A and B are shown apart, each in its own frame.
Chain A
Amino acid sequence: MKNYCSIITAAVVLFLMGACQKGPIDSLNTPVVGTISGNPTRSDLFNLVTGIESGMRINYAGYLDGVGVIGREIYRFSGSEPRYTTDLLGGGTRILDNNTFYLTNPWGSRYQVMRQCFILLDATRNARTEIASDVQKKAFSGFAKTVIGYQLLLNINMTDSSGARIPVPNGAAPGAVITDPAIVLDSVLKFLDEGQTDLTGSTVMFPLSDGFAGFKDAAGLLKFNRALAARVHIYRKEWAEALTALNGSFFDLNGALNTGVFHFFSTNGGDIANTMYLAPNTNGEVRVSHPSYAANIVPGDDRLAKTALRNSPISQNGLTGTRDVVIWSSLNAPISIIRNEELILIYAEAKIQSGALPDAIVALNRIRSLHNMTPYAGAITPAALITELLYQRRYSLFMEGHRWVDLRRYNLLGTLPKDRPDDDVWTRYPLPQNESNL
């Protein structure tokens, strides 16, 4: 009996003592927002910047697919996802859904990056000066504001007059939905301009991926910022301002077309692969160019090579494609954010619209010659040149998210082909259903 007692005593006591843990159980898996923005280390700040750069890629493929399909640049066939060929093309009685992936995923991811930018702004403000000096802090905030402006631009591109909300700092009450896209673009520009101010005279201490190769320092980021501003200015029909912004950017009429800033992708651990790459000639998940892409191209234009003839055509839901989109060569290929080819076309557009037609023709011919086309020989009128410009933008910026926005700007969405009798060409996405959840 005594033996049992001691054994039981020991067992019970040990078990109970062991069980008496105290204290809270903190997050075991990840840092949490409050601690990282309250008193950040230098590494914390770097990690936040990397998160911003990385986050910009999330669901960007969904954005490009969506505006590419609606803008009749491509067909997106998917064995398991019918809505690329129904909703997005307005097949039958289908309309754009305000609560599904092609809208809510890119929309949410862009605002998620903006939220992260505000967290970086908080963290930068709270960082001790031994962590980052004032000029170093300026680079962080300039980068964050530039990205906010860019991300907001992508969302208002989708919803246009359905509206968007201006992002607010952490903890602030959200503003109203603004359904005038001009006001939202004001705000985009404001963020970009504030970014420009902060970046001017700052020192960049944080690392960026090779997507920013050549633009990793303050001067480079300023050029990137101004390039984006130039894009916004032409959307706002502010031609003089667009030219001014180009001057601050990496615009180079005689430079390489692919100079610019890219999203870096890789299949390495923890990184994101470029899902815009789909192996040619596969079935199931497919991106093929819209038949009009090859049909409307000027013979000899080398941009036909952005697509490749399939071994056999592919069909889904009454649509058939023969050419795979091959802009991206692998899962590791970068996707452009903005590059010199667009800047040259922005230059041409601003020049046409401000009446400097010869300057515009020089720029257009630069594009034409680089794509194996003869110099421009059409009418020298603003209207004819705009038609030429839109052709060049269509083929130069194929699947970079521009055609649908361009045709909307010029009120030409009615010229897009409808492949099936009941198809529609949408002018904008609806406001996501979740925006009513306040």
Chain B
Amino acid sequence: MLLPKTGLLVLLFLCSTLALFAQQNISGKIKDAVSGKPIPGVTVRIQGTNRGTISDATGAYSLSVPSGNATLLVTFTGYKTQTIKVSPGTNVGDITMEEDFAKLDEIVVTGLATSVKRSNLANTVVTINANQLAGTAPAQTFDAALSGKVPGALITANSGAPGGGISVKMRGITSVFGNSQPLYVVDGIFFNNSSIPAGLNDVTGAATAGNPNNQDNPSSRIADLNPADIENIEILKGASAAALYGAKAAAGVVIVTTKKGRAGKTKVSVNQETGFAKVRHLMGVRTFDADKAADLAGAADNPDPVVQQRRQAYRDQFNAAASAGKIYDYEKEMYGETGLILNTGLSISGGNEKTTFYMSGNRRQEHGIVKNTGYFNNSARLNIDHKLSDRISLGVTMSYIHSDADRGLTNNDNNGVSFGVALSSTPTFVDLFPNALGEYPRNPFAASNPLETRDKMTNNEVTNRFVGGSNLEVRLQQSEHSSTKFIGRGGVDYFNYKTAALFPRDLQFEENALQGHSIQGNTNNTNTNLGGFLTNTFTPNENISLTSTLGATLETGYMDNIVTAATNLVSGQSNLDASANTTTRQFRQKYRDNGLFLQEDLSLLDAITLSGGVRFDRSTNNGDYKKYYVFPKGAVSWNIARMKFWDVKSIQSLKLRAAYGQSGNVPPYGSKFTAMLGSNIGGLPGVLVDNLLGNSDIKPERQSEFEAGLDLSVLDGRITLEATYYNKQIQDVLLRHALPGSSGYANEWKNSGDLRNKGIELGLTVIPINTKTVKWSSTINWWRNRSKVTKLLIPPYAIGAFGNSLGTFYLEEGEPATQIKGTVGSELKLIGNSEPKFQMSFFDELTILKNISIRFLIHWKKGGDNINLTQLLTDLGQTSFDYDDILHGQKAGVYRTGAGDASIYVQDASYVRIREIGVYYNVPLRNTNIIKGIRLGVSANNFFTWTSYVGYDPEVSNFGSNTITTSTSRGSNGLSTGVDVTPFPASKRGSFHIGVDF
């Protein structure tokens, strides 16, 4: 093992004594070059050391510098970095700083241990700061707040249920059955984002007929993170940038840095958001009359007397309801609630030169748009950074999260019990409201009374989570031309996740069947990650700098999921033992991945960057757990504007860049085994061979990504352009490929083809106005991706949704990976593609008189089809709002269901949406010592959408994302977004904000 040895080496260095130097003091004030305002919080550091200070609230700084020549680095986020030479015996005095519009000096994390200035970066790295993330119109969860902000990403909300559930795909399709979601790294800790089903399938039977994949609609665990704690987010989109994170990073990395304290006076900040959530859009219901009601029983010319009798009964029922005024819009009744949003945050930060801290507490509470649904999250965080000496610094981060979500019962089901499926066949003239005794009528049009289900059931998830980690940096040696650092990082992410799905025995669908369900799940999950890195920077002269990094990483994970389903419950009870029958299922998974890497970065003339690296990875999930797979990377960038010969003053940066990298995506746990699943009969224990054939030779998918681009910054950064082209190839794509049923297996794990994604990302930022009174900045992003199956070793096959007759994702060599095929007449035809033609976003920020700021984000998704089975179900239930429109000479609902044409329900899901709009006002304060600042604001999130799509929202996914594959349930795959089966409707949010700093 490499690690213990390096560890000991480090300790030797740690314990060596430190030399002392003679000192001189310098001091002054730091101001903004345009406004002349003092800038607090600026870091002034002596180059090549850890010594430095931070300017106070009045912009003043003072620092003792060793006598002799020294160089000061003056840095502050959003400003250009200044380098100031200090001659012996002189003071530096006041410093003015210029705003860095093009963010050329922004430091970007590129590997696990090194960072690069944006102006020298060979990849596009998206950086989202706190203002962009949560400063406009806060989304419900952290991942939803990324929507529209990341060029190259397709971000889809799976459901509107409280607690979220988001699918993030960077640069197209990374994997079909392997991990397709990015790795989240929070302060160096790998943050688990799995979705764990609650076992609702026992009630809904969703995965029992058309599609075996789980459709429980669980939330994703990244939602636990409190957006208010985030300082900034960097997004590495593919292998060429993220290769050093290894196997977990194939689908990109989202690096989250939380807020840190600053030396100086302790700052206390309180923020309160009060708002409401309402459904974004309701589809509407069919308007019945007596004839239409009668038609529910059968056609008017049906000779069967039973049908005629029944027609009359429906007609009478309608007339009675109409004359009593009892015609109800159950869609509005179900989804029409207004939810209250309360979000309270408190943060305290401060510290001294040696130790800084950031503490925060946050309480988010919101009610859903369906009665008895809601989300509640309490979290606390403590970040401490401490300098043990000039050479050693240590950072510790800890957070505790408690979240609690009540998510209702939505999405697909085969038992007629979920809200949407029950509503889809319930006409307006039936009365479902409880009587004075609280008894709910039986719904003759569906298996359940959705109002009764809503009022009596529970689908609750509670998460208790602890995330903690530390970061140790040791400067091992320092000389004029070289310095060596050791960085050690470790983190633990533990959560307990408890689900409870309770269905009392007196529900319509329970009373004559299983007589109540109590399904309780308990999951314990522990992830750890550990890394050690040695970096050496060698600077023989000003023009050359060579950074070498050697590192080793280790990640482990263990999950234990136990779900017990009790049926035939004791009346009014939910405990598992208060039942006649119980079934328990357990699923565990465990992995250990480790990697070694070496990287060299060469910088010439501060204009040319060359880097190369190699990584060796292995994982216990691979067929051969001992084998190291090798993944190389290389990058080059040339900033022509920094060359000596460059004399176009107006162009400050003109950079050409190219990068190539490979990474692996490990197979899912268990894919190397053919399991024997428990299958009992009459009290005898049995095992039955799983229909998923394992593959003992399974190996990781290999992703090779090439990207090239041009970055341009002109007029002092007032106009910047970033243009990137990428070509991402995935070899040995892991497929759970369908076998002939006659083999006895339905599917087999196999590395069976190649995928390719090509795309373009363009970003243009303009600052048309920059005066003392008004500043306007505008960012326009445009991106597109095209995916293609370039090689398929197995015959083409349907991999998603509900069979050919309803439209299915279909993998076929030479065709887009996201194509949708379906039966039209008797032929299997191409009928759609879930990939958008392009996406575009506009982010504008207008600051007036320094204190008023207006921000908005518009997101346009053009193209990308959904499989709209919500419409199919309402058509079949004869309740679609447009059922009676005439289409091809028939009622629309009759035509659509009877046409034998799957393309009717595969529909364009384009939209233009104002994702976020916010207006904030900083109240100018005079003569107060206690209150330092007051902010007021109003915001609207996802308030306005323009789309021709018929469902609740064009953003939807019945199958969720990254759901774990247990031994009995199949997780979701990376393609099946955009399948719309009576989801929890999406909501829009409006909020009022107030923030006070002390």
Contacts and interface: CB of A to CB of B under 8 A. Distances in A.
Nearest to B686: A50
B998 interface: no
A271 B681 contact: yes
B682 interface: yes
A209 interface: yes
A279 B507 CA distance: 14
A436 B151 CA distance: 40
A200 interface: no
A54 B681 contact: yes
Interface string B387-399: 0110010000000
Contact of B389 (A1, A9, A108, A432): A1
Contacts of B872: 82
Contact of A313 (B310, B389, B690): B310
A29 B745 contact: no
Contact of B298 (A16, A92, A119, A320): A320
A315 interface: yes
Nearest to A311: B444
B402 interface: no
B447 A115 contact: no
B543 interface: no
Contact of A315 (B310, B422, B804, B823): B310
A16 B528 CA distance: 12
A244 B800 CA distance: 50
A264 interface: yes
A113 B581 CA distance: 26
Given A29-B587, A165-B742, A283-B447, A34 B674 contact: yes
B415 interface: yes
B241 to A, nearest CB: 27
A115 B746 CA distance: 11
B512 interface: yes
B14 A8 contact: yes
Contact of B679 (A55, A80, A211): A55
Contacts of B804: 97-100, 433
A112 B513 contact: no
Nearest to A97: B805
Interface in B411-450: 412-417, 421-422, 424-425, 442-448
Contact of B425 (A24, A50, A79): A79
A358 interface: no
A139 B968 CA distance: 31
Given A80-B413, A435-B740, A30 B967 contact: yes
B146 interface: no
B743 interface: yes
A268 B7 contact: no
Interface stretch (B38-46, B86-94, B714-722, B897-905): B897-905
Interface stretch (B258-266, B301-309, B476-484, B605-613): B301-309
A162 to B, nearest CB: 12
B803 A437 contact: no
Interface in B304-345: 304, 306-307, 309-310, 313
Contacts of A104: 741, 746
Contacts of B47: none
B628 interface: no
Interface in A91-123: 91-95, 97-101, 104-105, 107-108, 111-116, 118-119
Interface in B490-518: 490, 509, 512-514
A17 B4 contact: yes
A32 interface: yes
A19 B527 CA distance: 12
Contact of B583 (A13, A270, A285, A434): A270
A51 B1 contact: no
Contact of A209 (B15, B674, B682): B682
B567 A267 contact: yes
A259 interface: no
A15 B743 contact: no
A270 B678 contact: yes
A78 interface: yes
A321 to B, nearest CB: 9
Contact of B421 (A47, A80, A313): A80
A79 B686 contact: no
A116 B689 contact: yes
Contact of B588 (A29, A50, A105): A29
Contact of B898 (A57, A78, A92, A433): A92
B900 A55 contact: no
Interface in A158-211: 164-165, 167, 174, 207-211
Contacts of A438: 740, 795
Interface stretch (B175-183, B247-255, B589-597): B589-597
Contacts of A92: 898-900
A207 B681 CA distance: 11
B421 A112 contact: no
B209 interface: yes
B309 A437 contact: no
Given A101-B209, A313-B309, A315-B298, A267 B514 contact: yes
B11 A12 contact: yes
Contact of B299 (A165, A167, A318, A432): A318
A53 interface: yes
B11 A9 contact: yes
A291 interface: yes
A16 B805 CA distance: 55
A377 interface: no
Nearest to B422: A79
B676 A16 contact: no
Contacts of A279: 512-513
Nearest to B748: A437
5 contacts: A28-B588, A92-B900, A115-B689, A267-B580, A320-B304
Interface of B: 1, 3-4, 7-8, 10-11, 14-15, 209-210, 296-299, 302, 304, 306-307, 309-310, 313, 388-389, 392, 412-417, 421-422, 424-425, 442-448, 472, 488, 490, 509, 512-514, 528, 530, 554, 556, 567-568, 580-584, 586-592, 620, 625, 670, 673-691, 694, 737-746, 794-795, 797-798, 802-805, 808, 823, 825-826, 872-873, 876-877, 897-900, 967
Given A283-B416, A433-B804, 4 more contacts: A82-B872, A209-B681, A280-B512, A284-B417
Interface of A: 1-2, 4-5, 8-9, 12-13, 15-17, 19-21, 24-25, 27-34, 36, 46-55, 57-58, 78-83, 86-87, 91-95, 97-101, 104-105, 107-108, 111-116, 118-119, 164-165, 167, 174, 207-211, 264, 266-273, 278-280, 282-285, 291, 312-313, 315, 317-320, 322, 331, 432-438
Nearest first, the 8 closest Cβ-Cβ pairs linking A and B are A284-B447, A115-B744, A50-B686, A279-B512, A209-B682, A79-B416, A284-B416, A100-B803
